[in-house]
Structure 1
Amino acid sequence: MKKPNWAGLMRFWVTAGVILMLTAGSVQAAEEKTYQSLKLFADVLEELETNYVDEVTPEALVHNAIKGMVGNLDPHSSFMPPDAFEDLQDDTKGEFSGIGIVITMKDGILTVVSPIEGTPAYEAGITAGDIIIKIDDVSTKDMAMWEAVNKMRGPRYEEVNITVIREGASAPLVFTIKRDMIPMTSVRSAMPEPGFGYLRITNFRMNTLDDVIEHLSELEEQGDGLKGLIIDLRDNPGGLLDQAIRISDLFIDQGTIVSIKGRIEKNNQIFKARPNFPERRYPIVTLINGGSASASEIVAGALKDNSRSLIIGTPSFGKGSVQTVRPLKDGFGLKYTIARYYTPSGHSIQAKGIQPDIRVAPGTVTDAPKADSAFDLMLKEKDLKNSLKPEEEEIRNKKKSQKDAEIEKLNKDVQVKHALDILISYGVFSKINDTN
């Protein structure tokens, strides 16, 4: 049986379709260019199908052509085969086994946006900005993002080797990482000082808003309530837009949260804040860094531009574009960019990121700071033999727990400590102003 001439049939249908389009109205220059381009595509398809050294199917050629067409638009647009499209749904809904990183294509290079806290990649030491050059000794050059994701995901407890180039490192770094289930929890909290809460948001999933409300309620009900709050968005790669908007709305009573502007009018939207009950009047400091991207940048930008929070840390990632996902026939999917995000003041996040109000580099508070003067070295009451311990210390020693270990860790984090000092100082000066 003679093999069907797929390219010839496609040429016929493409030509017929263009002719029908042209006969429906006047011939325009743009339509002529489209016709010529489609004709060129059909010619190349027929040539390769007929004369390429190895036999290639027209389906493979067309799929590769679509992949190249979409992939060359921007780093966040992609044409996905059925298995990759199905995996995309797991990122916000289901549980999956992998290493726990969010990646992007930066200038055609596979780059880590952020490791997800509590995952194998985070524990292994993968950091934002790492360039992945190999996955299990397979080069990532010209590898699509979905292919890289598929290679890094796999059965739980099986190992995968990731080779990265890191700024400041003299040679590539190789990480052997054991895959595990990626946690779906995205919020945790603590009270590093009485009245001053710490809220950590690692990503924005379907239940993140509910978790934030639950943790906030617990913090607000302790003691005399909150005097100040630290929101930690460091290494938060983003997630669901609606969750970011609704979480921002918890702290803003009026004004714009974020606006979205695209080429098509229907993609333009402005999201406004609504009055909250209970009202949250306490001061806020928000922490960001280069791993804070997308939805976390929306929250930071909304709080900053509405004068609701001081932003400290380092500049965020700068992922300010909006993608939509369209299912296609036979299980394929298309993800492409439709608009850009703008902060309430009208600034684009794209490639610029959120700039902190106060830049504070990451680091650890040392246990034994250098003495400032000879007086600091003098003998004090606490150094005397059998000296009585402070009452609160005696109580604390009896109640050592995992929560205490978490707070101790926070107090050694330079950026968290800086945020806490700002909130405490604000409270002191507010009392002085009230007295005056």
Structure 2
Amino acid sequence: MTRSILSLFILFFFSIPPVHADNSKQERDLYQDLETFANVLTLIQQYYVDEVDSSKVITGAINGMLGSLDPHSAYMTAEDFKALEEETSGSFTGIGIEISIRDGVLTAVAPIEGTPADRQGIRPGDQIVRINGELTKTMTLMEAVKKLRGEVGTKVTITIHRSEWKEPRDYTITREAIPLVSVNSMTLEPGFGYLRISNFQSSTTKDVLDALGVLGKKRPLQGLILDLRNNPGGLLDQAVKVADIFLDKGVIVSTKGRYREEQMIFEAHPDGTRNDYPMVVLVNNGSASGSEIVAGALQDHKRAIILGTITFGKGSVQTVLPLPEGAGLRLTTAKYYTPNGISIQATGIKPDMVVPLNPVLQVKDDALKSATRNIREKDLPNHLENEATQSGAKPSHSKEPGNQEATFEQVDEIHQVSQRLEQDNQLRTALIILRSLHLAGGQRKSPRSDE
């Protein structure tokens, strides 16, 4: 039995390239370790108090092996692998939170905007100590993900520890279908746009280009705020392509691994457009991986001012390797570096301007009232003019019924913008910077091939 299991493992390990044995001693050590593993498995099967499912034990051993490497390497069953494909393509069911293992503790990287976790107030850096009463300390990352996800309408209780709390608190959250709307945008005021990227998925670059087209349709952009706060990352190629939109030349990011195939340099390319308006990029401790690539590239090329707080510090690249029967292996294969050759692994991107987010003390109704007070009658579309101050004013014409809906949408957008600025001091600061740069006629430009 021992020899058959040993043969199976030798065949398995040496059939998956690349296996690099520097000398015969290393090969002998590997064979001895595999034989030890097979012996332990045989003894478990023979003497353990209960009958053992060998498949389950081996899966546990694989998870333990990967868990000893780093927090982001993981074994994926066929079900996990399928869920990963769904997540990067558009939607999944769960509570809407990106998680990681940090210092041995299951940690929230960032809640996805507008999801149940976000509405319940889960924050980046929250430690998830229990899921449905079960301690998470011994869970793998994929096991935790599986427990957090589930059918729409079902509930999950997570126990959160936050640094400023004396005791952990329970949150019971109802699972929903989580549509991953990657890009949202709005005009803050004429000429100044706001673009939020919540994660990097397969359609992100196209969505960003479409949003920029809408923002600059009525009036050319004079400044842009790119919001990458609580963006946990996603697809590397999409992060690179988004950075390329705002850069015309130079390195965006480079990756370095053990072997030549992991040594890659991604560079910007001129595309014929001049997206050289001033930019402010918003980041926080929930900005990780792909969002750190974009922020780091724009910062090193002095293309944008980075504002907020230090980012998460995930500077590693994971490659998904398929295994038989639909399973997969997510393995860390390289580290990435900013254009200046700096690794942000475990250190993060330090903003040019450190501006902590001041929490809003008012409840939502009070915030809405405050925002409404900032809107004056003259700001509303199609407002009535004061006849006493008009000379030769044209008589007003009745509006077509079809225009009323558009008018209400414009009023609602004014409310939304005003409310966001009222509640978000980082956003307000970014807008003030853009106004100042525009008035002063100065801006941080991207390096261009025609300069």
The question of a shared fold, defined as TM-score above 0.5 by the shorter chain, is answered with yes
Distance 2:314 2:13 in 1: 38
Could you say what secondary structure the match of 2:265 adopts?
strand
- Could you tell me which residue of structure 1 aligns to residue 191 of structure 2? 195
Post-superposition shift, 1:401? Answer: 3.0
Post-superposition shift, 1:213? Answer: 0.5
- Could you tell me which residue of structure 1 aligns to residue 269 of structure 2? 274
Post-superposition shift, 1:269? Answer: 0.6
Residue 281 to residue 43, structure 1, CA distance change in 2 (3 Å): same
Distance 1:16 1:157 in 2: 45
- Could you tell me which residue of structure 2 aligns to residue 378 of structure 1? none
Post-superposition shift, 1:392? Answer: 3.9
- Could you tell me which residue of structure 2 aligns to residue 291 of structure 1? 286
Residue 52 to residue 208, structure 1, CA distance change in 2 (3 Å): same
Q: Over residues 181-214 of structure 1, what are the superposed CA-to-partner deviations in whole Å (9 max), with x where a residue is unaligned?
A: 1012111111112111111111111111111111
Q: Is the contact between residue 230 and residue 285 of structure 2 (CA under 8 Å) also seen in structure 1?
A: yes
Distance 1:353 1:187 in 2: 23
1:160 to 141, 149, 156: 156
Q: Please tell me whether residue 411 in structure 1 is matched to residue 407 in structure 2.
A: no
Q: Is the contact between residue 81 and residue 328 of structure 2 (CA under 8 Å) also seen in structure 1?
A: yes
Q: Is the contact between residue 230 and residue 419 of structure 1 (CA under 8 Å) also seen in structure 2?
A: yes
Q: Over residues 12-45 of structure 1, what are the superposed CA-to-partner deviations in whole Å (9 max), with x where a residue is unaligned?
A: 56689999xxxxx997221221122122112212
- Could you tell me which residue of structure 1 aligns to residue 252 of structure 2? 257
Distance 1:239 1:17 in 2: 30
Q: Is the contact between residue 205 and residue 240 of structure 1 (CA under 8 Å) also seen in structure 2?
A: yes
- Structure 2 counterparts to residues 7-156 of structure 1, below 5 A: 7-11=2-6, 28-156=24-152
Q: Is the contact between residue 158 and residue 178 of structure 1 (CA under 8 Å) also seen in structure 2?
A: yes
Post-superposition shift, 1:331? Answer: 2.5
- Could you tell me which residue of structure 2 aligns to residue 300 of structure 1? 295
Q: Is the contact between residue 248 and residue 268 of structure 2 (CA under 8 Å) also seen in structure 1?
A: yes
Q: Is the contact between residue 92 and residue 205 of structure 1 (CA under 8 Å) also seen in structure 2?
A: yes
Distance 1:209 1:95 in 2: 17
Post-superposition shift, 1:82? Answer: 2.1
Residue 40 to residue 187, structure 1, CA distance change in 2 (3 Å): same
Q: Is the contact between residue 18 and residue 35 of structure 1 (CA under 8 Å) also seen in structure 2?
A: no
Residue 208 to residue 12, structure 1, CA distance change in 2 (3 Å): closer
Q: Is the contact between residue 365 and residue 414 of structure 1 (CA under 8 Å) also seen in structure 2?
A: no
Distance 2:286 2:9 in 1: 45
Q: Is the contact between residue 115 and residue 122 of structure 1 (CA under 8 Å) also seen in structure 2?
A: yes
Query: CA RMSD of the aligned region, Å?
Result: 2.5
Residue 343 to residue 12, structure 1, CA distance change in 2 (3 Å): closer
Q: Is the contact between residue 380 and residue 411 of structure 2 (CA under 8 Å) also seen in structure 1?
A: no
Could you say what secondary structure the match of 1:275 adopts?
coil
% identical aligned pairs: 45
Q: Please tell me whether residue 424 in structure 1 is matched to residue 435 in structure 2.
A: yes
Residue 222 to residue 17, structure 1, CA distance change in 2 (3 Å): closer
- Could you tell me which residue of structure 1 aligns to residue 411 of structure 2? 401
Q: Please tell me whether residue 169 in structure 1 is matched to residue 165 in structure 2.
A: yes
Extract unaligned runs of 5+ from structure 1: 20-24, 368-388, 432-436
Q: Is the contact between residue 130 and residue 159 of structure 2 (CA under 8 Å) also seen in structure 1?
A: yes
Q: Is the contact between residue 98 and residue 112 of structure 2 (CA under 8 Å) also seen in structure 1?
A: yes
- Could you tell me which residue of structure 1 aligns to residue 231 of structure 2? 236
Could you say what secondary structure the match of 1:91 adopts?
helix
Q: Is the contact between residue 290 and residue 317 of structure 1 (CA under 8 Å) also seen in structure 2?
A: yes
- Structure 2 counterparts to residues 193-232 of structure 1, below 5 A: 193-223=189-219, 225-232=220-227
Q: Over residues 196-255 of structure 1, what are the superposed CA-to-partner deviations in whole Å (9 max), with x where a residue is unaligned?
A: 1111111111111111111101111222x1111000000011111111111100100110
1:199 corresponds to which letter in structure 2?
A: L
- Could you tell me which residue of structure 2 aligns to residue 382 of structure 1? none
Q: Over residues 32-69 of structure 1, what are the superposed CA-to-partner deviations in whole Å (9 max), with x where a residue is unaligned?
A: 21122122112212211111111213323322221211
Distance 1:401 1:66 in 2: 57
Q: Is the contact between residue 254 and residue 264 of structure 2 (CA under 8 Å) also seen in structure 1?
A: yes
Could you say what secondary structure the match of 1:161 adopts?
strand
Residue 33 to residue 424, structure 1, CA distance change in 2 (3 Å): same
Q: Is the contact between residue 96 and residue 117 of structure 2 (CA under 8 Å) also seen in structure 1?
A: yes
Q: Is the contact between residue 8 and residue 46 of structure 1 (CA under 8 Å) also seen in structure 2?
A: no
Q: Is the contact between residue 203 and residue 237 of structure 1 (CA under 8 Å) also seen in structure 2?
A: yes
2:69 corresponds to which letter in structure 1?
A: L
Q: Over residues 248-281 of structure 1, what are the superposed CA-to-partner deviations in whole Å (9 max), with x where a residue is unaligned?
A: 0010011000001101111111001011222112
Distance 1:192 1:18 in 2: 56
- Structure 2 counterparts to residues 304-383 of structure 1, below 5 A: 304-363=299-358
Residue 282 to residue 136, structure 1, CA distance change in 2 (3 Å): same
Q: Is the contact between residue 325 and residue 335 of structure 1 (CA under 8 Å) also seen in structure 2?
A: yes
Distance 1:129 1:143 in 2: 18
Distance 1:247 1:54 in 2: 54
Q: Is the contact between residue 15 and residue 39 of structure 1 (CA under 8 Å) also seen in structure 2?
A: no
Q: Give the structure-2-normalised TM-score.
A: 0.84
Post-superposition shift, 1:342? Answer: 0.3
Distance 1:64 1:287 in 2: 40
Distance 1:106 1:300 in 2: 22
